[in-house]
Amino acid sequence: MARRQMRRLWFLTTIISALLPALGAWAARFDGKLTIEVADELTGVPIPVRMELLNSRGRPVHIRPEGAISRDGYIVFDGQVTLELKKGAYRFLIEAGPEYRTRSGHFTIERHAEDVSEITLRRHVDMKEKGWWAGDLDVRQRLEDLPLLMRAAGIDFAPVLVRENVQGKCLQAQKSPTQDLHPISLLDYRRGGGLLICEVEGNRLSEIEICQSKAEESSIPMLEAAYEAGADIVALSPFGWDLPIWIAADKLTAIQIIHRQSQVNGPIASEGWGRPRDKRLFPSKLGNGRYSETIYHHLLNSGQRIPPAAGSGSGANTNPLGASRVYVECGDEYSAEDWVAGFRAGRVVVTNGPLLTTSVEGQSPGYVFHLDRGQSREFQIALSLSFYEKAPVEYLEIVKNGRVEYEVRLDELAKKKGQLPPLRFDDSGWFLVRAMTNNSQNYQFASTGPYYVEANYGRRISRASVEYFLTWLDQAAVEFSENEAILSDIETAKPFWNDLLDQANAD
């Protein structure tokens, strides 16, 4: 009997000894609590925010507070969150998108602490009051998380990605939303580049069999199917090999010039599956961003009128939602239909940092000004500029026909009471305004969509820019020399570009 009791005692002792480390870890998983409450400084109303939290070593703290959404090194919560943390010193950054000032600070957790910290954020610009509403076109977040993520970033339009074809492999991201109408999107991302296919109501996209296409097959059937379904089709980036083929097909709605490669923690400095840049012309970490914008400007110089767009790739990378965004002017009241209409019309500003809007003779970007034969005209650009702490603006540029016509430093702008120099046109062309930051780690900027000028109802077509895309097609023919379907697409596209070359009226 005694021997049996000894065995039981030994068994219990062994079990307890094994459990003690786990029990100790459970009991000591946090030392104190801090409740953070965030409100708008002017109204006192609680607001949803995104918070980055770092420990004393400067490393992200990974926690999952109740009621919050936890992501890569940050949390998103609606006005209030309780943090359960180990003893130590912490630093934080709290933001509610670029329209609010960012708040940073620090605190210390002591053992058994239970404190409350009230933080206010000051709004420095309200884009909605100006009639501009923000969108992020490339989002891979869960439908149930999207409402809070969008409100915390100040995003109004973000399609739900439901299916994607990545190099012939089908990924079912989530089911199509059934409650409330919500824009949805598909992504066809194969060897020719990426196509974001978006639709406000979403019911027509169910007809598109995006996952049936193999990696090496032509992208044109998918492009045509999406177009026939009435969807908006956005190039995921400008450097997809099929870009000049898509342009020749005349079915793209827009092109993302700020895209997944632009990441807040450091850009992806390669073009992935796309046409690689010449690193002698576009060196360093800024090269991919400058290359993307240059391609877009070549399109404008070729006589194309297609709006720029932006998307963060949030959920497919570490970017928070809205890190790259496109603002669309669509009036005092928002609706997804009005947003898309303004987007198609080119009334846009794209940014991964500063906030910028312009008006020229009362008109927004996308507008076409007409000149009579022999007429000259000067345009005065009215500017509204704002930026937040992560994106200090260094200077402004007025870009005319792909070249910087004026560079204006902020101190010079202040001396002239915010007035930009007039821009003269004697012939057809286009222009836009760009705000540049001093970020040396990422190509961080804001750009209006282009304004267009037509002399005698004719577009400016640059011979050099058209030849740029003809050379591109020749390079694609070498790249895919064993793919008959792609070679056929290339041959189909060439007459479009050769006709433009015949129409060229500028160098």
Q: Which residue intervals of the chain bear CATH 2.60.40.10?
A: 32-121, 353-460
385 phi and psi, to 5 degrees?
-130, 135
pLDDT digits (tens, 9 = 90+) for 245-298: 999 999 999 999 999 999 988 888 899 989 999 999 999 999 999 999 999 999
Of the candidates 362, 359, 334, which has an alpha carbon nearest to the alpha carbon of residue 448? 359
pLDDT digits (tens, 9 = 90+) for 86-109: 999 999 999 999 999 999 999 999
Looking at the structure, give the CATH architecture of the domain made up of residues 353-460. Answer: Sandwich (2.60)
- At residue 149, does pLDDT exceed 60? yes
Q: What is the pLDDT of residue 175?
A: 65
Hey, what are 34's tokens? 């801090």
Cα dihedral across residues 150, 230, 226, 461: positive or negative: negative
- At residue 393, does pLDDT exceed 60? yes
Q: What is the pLDDT of residue 26?
A: 39
Band the pLDDT of 348: cuts 50, 70, 90. very high
For the structural domain made of 32-121, what CATH number should be given? 2.60.40.10
Global pTM exceeds 0.95: no
Distance CA 73, CA 77 (A): 14
CB 295 within 8 A of CB 271: no
Q: Which residue intervals of the chain bear CATH 3.20.20?
A: 125-348
- At residue 389, does pLDDT exceed 90? no
- At residue 340, does pLDDT exceed 80? yes
pLDDT digits (tens, 9 = 90+) for 25-41: 434 488 999 999 999 99
Domain 125-348 belongs to what topology?
Answer: TIM Barrel (3.20.20)
CA angle 290, 293, 298 (to 5 degrees): 120
Strands (E), 3-142: 32-40, 48-54, 69-71, 74-78, 80-85, 88-95, 103-109, 114-121, 132-135
